[in-house]
């Protein structure tokens, strides 16, 4: 059992989302930073899609009531276990009774806490992700509150922490440039507008949330003012409303949209955006579909290498 002593500004239960229901108007939702969420799970021996806590900003505090193995990934946060500072990206074992505190935020925006076996909350449409607008998933379809208790399966001696071991990771949340594919309606924008889109940075607006990031900066003007029939959108779709300020759709996005889609953030760069907060800057760069596929394949191989290295290390420690 994981008890919420303090939920922080905004903490929810997430996994990799509920796929297969967009045709019914149900958002995929899921972790804003799927790379960090998957990585935390891999470190503790879970499957990438197991449920984790997504902790936004800082201040959250939790108490473990059973033995388990946990890991924290994502934003650069000062985290303490019973007052002792810990480093993220590594498995840490607890016997029960310890208090984990996310003290402050040094860089990034969202941290992920995984426990061995995943968080045991009911699945809704094949996912444990919290979707606040529909009030489903997670814990009663809402953000966590003080006093909430989340079940997890205690793990035995065969799942102890790996001594002096951690996952070497690139700190993607420090990057400013985000790579994008050209969107279906990119031809509605002339070369001058596209140059503006990629040459000048945008600022994340305070009117941003898990549904979408509104960007403040250079206004973009479409050559074609005719209205569009609503078309499918996905995580990372960049739309340009009539006002000219782009919107990047995020994890809790709607399923369709009627604004021109100037670009699509590539999969491996979604975490860069997920770790941005209001006031941070972002700049876009167009890349080819071939390059995006190569980058995605390299990331999948990196994940597999991490999983393999964990399994090998555990076998060695068991001998």
Reported as a single tens digit per residue, the pLDDT across 69-87 is 999 999 999 999 999 999 8
pLDDT at 110: 94
Q: Which two tokens stand for residue 34?
A: 């799927």
Q: How far apart are CA 246 and CA 201, in angstroms?
A: 12
Can you tell me the mean pLDDT for 21-46? 90
Q: State the alpha helices, DSSP H only, in the chain.
A: 34-43, 191-199, 270-274, 289-318
Residues 66, 146: one domain?
A: yes
pLDDT at 166: 63
Kindly list the distances between the CA atom of residue 128 and the CA atoms of 17, 23, 302, 317, in Å, as whole numbers in the listed order.
8, 19, 26, 33
pLDDT at 160: 47
Does residue 96 lie in a domain region?
yes
Does residue 219 lie in a domain region?
yes
Residues 217, 253: one domain?
A: yes
42 falls in which pLDDT band (50, 70, 90)? confident
The number of residues making up the chain comes to 319
Of the candidates 48, 65, 43, the one whose C-alpha atom is nearest the C-alpha of residue 14 is 48
319 falls in which pLDDT band (50, 70, 90)? low
pLDDT at 318: 62
The Cα diameter of the chain in Å comes to 69
Residues 120, 100: one domain?
A: yes
Residue 139 predicted with pLDDT over 60: yes
Note whether 120 and 152 are within 8 A (CB).
yes
Residues 110, 62: one domain?
A: yes
Residue 24 predicted with pLDDT over 80: yes
pLDDT at 223: 86
pLDDT at 159: 47
Residues 185, 156: one domain?
A: no
* Residue numbers of the domain that contains 141: 2-170
Does residue 93 lie in a domain region?
yes
Q: How far apart are CA 30 and CA 319, in angstroms?
A: 38
Q: State the alpha helices, DSSP H only, in 20-99.
A: 34-43
* CA angle (137, 300, 215) in 5-degree steps: 60
Does residue 28 lie in a domain region?
yes
Residues 8, 103: one domain?
A: yes
Residues 68, 45: one domain?
A: yes
Q: How many domains does the chain have?
A: 2
Which of 170, 193, 208 lies at the terminal end of a domain, its last residue? 170
Does residue 221 lie in a domain region?
yes
- Coil/strand/helix, residue 277: coil
Note whether 254 and 167 are within 8 A (CB).
no
Please give the sequence-ordered ranges of beta strands (E in DSSP) within the chain, or none if there are none. Answer: 2-6, 10-14, 52-56, 61-64, 68-81, 84-86, 92-94, 99-115, 149-150, 177-182, 202-204, 212-216, 231-232, 237-239, 247-249, 256-257, 261-265, 281-286
Residue 217 predicted with pLDDT over 60: yes
pLDDT at 312: 77
Which of 170, 193, 215 lies at the terminal end of a domain, its last residue? 170
Can you tell me the mean pLDDT for 97-121? 94
Residues 145, 63: one domain?
A: yes
Kindly list the distances between the CA atom of residue 302 and the CA atoms of 34, 37, 241, 297, in Å, as whole numbers in the listed order.
14, 15, 37, 9
pLDDT at 85: 93
Does residue 105 lie in a domain region?
yes
Average pLDDT, the chain: 89
Residue 168 predicted with pLDDT over 60: no
Residues 93, 157: one domain?
A: yes
Can you tell me the mean pLDDT for 137-153? 95
Q: CATH number, domain at 193?
A: 2.40.100.10
pLDDT at 171: 55
Does residue 268 lie in a domain region?
yes
Residues 107, 179: one domain?
A: no
Which of 129, 147, 170 lies at the terminal end of a domain, its last residue? 170
pLDDT at 23: 85
Residues 110, 206: one domain?
A: no
Residues 46, 157: one domain?
A: yes
Does residue 59 lie in a domain region?
yes
Residue 167 predicted with pLDDT over 70: no
Can you tell me the mean pLDDT for 144-156? 89
């Amino acid at each position: 059992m994981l008890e919420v002593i303090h939920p922080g500004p905004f903490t929810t239960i997430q996994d990799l989302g509920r796929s297969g229901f967009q045709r019914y108007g149900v958002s995929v939702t899921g972790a804003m930073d799927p790379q960090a969420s998957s990585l935390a799970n891999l470190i503790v021996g879970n499957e990438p899609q197991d449920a984790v806590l997504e902790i936004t900003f800082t201040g959250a505090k939790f108490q473990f009531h059973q033995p388990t193995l946990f890991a924290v990934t994502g934003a650069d946060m000062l985290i303490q276990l019973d007052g002792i500072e810990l480093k993220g990206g590594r498995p840490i074992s607890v016997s029960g009774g310890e208090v984990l505190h996310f003290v402050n935020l040094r860089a990034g925006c969202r941290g992920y806490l995984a426990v061995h076996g995943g968080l045991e909350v009911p699945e809704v449409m094949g996912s444990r992700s919290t979707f606040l607008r529909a009030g489903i998933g997670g814990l009663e379809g809402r953000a966590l509150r003080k006093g909430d208790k989340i079940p997890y399966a205690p793990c035995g001696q065969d799942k102890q922490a790996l001594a002096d071991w951690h996952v070497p990771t690139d700190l993607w949340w420090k990057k400013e440039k985000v790579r994008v594919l050209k969107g279906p309606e990119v031809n509605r924008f002339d070369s001058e507008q596209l140059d503006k889109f990629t040459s000048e940075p945008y600022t994340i607006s305070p009117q941003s949330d898990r549904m979408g990031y509104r960007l403040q900066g250079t206004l973009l003007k479409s050559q074609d003012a005719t209205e569009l029939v609503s078309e499918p959108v996905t995580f990372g779709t960049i739309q340009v409303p009539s006002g000219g300020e782009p919107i990047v759709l995020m994890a809790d996005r709607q399923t369709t949209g009627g604004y021109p889609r100037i670009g699509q953030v590539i999969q491996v760069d979604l975490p860069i955006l997920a770790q941005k907060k209001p006031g941070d800057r972002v700049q876009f760069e167009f890349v080819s579909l071939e390059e995006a596929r190569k980058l995605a394949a390299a990331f999948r191989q990196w994940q597999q290498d991490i999983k393999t290295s964990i399994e090998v290390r555990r076998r060695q420690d068991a001998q």
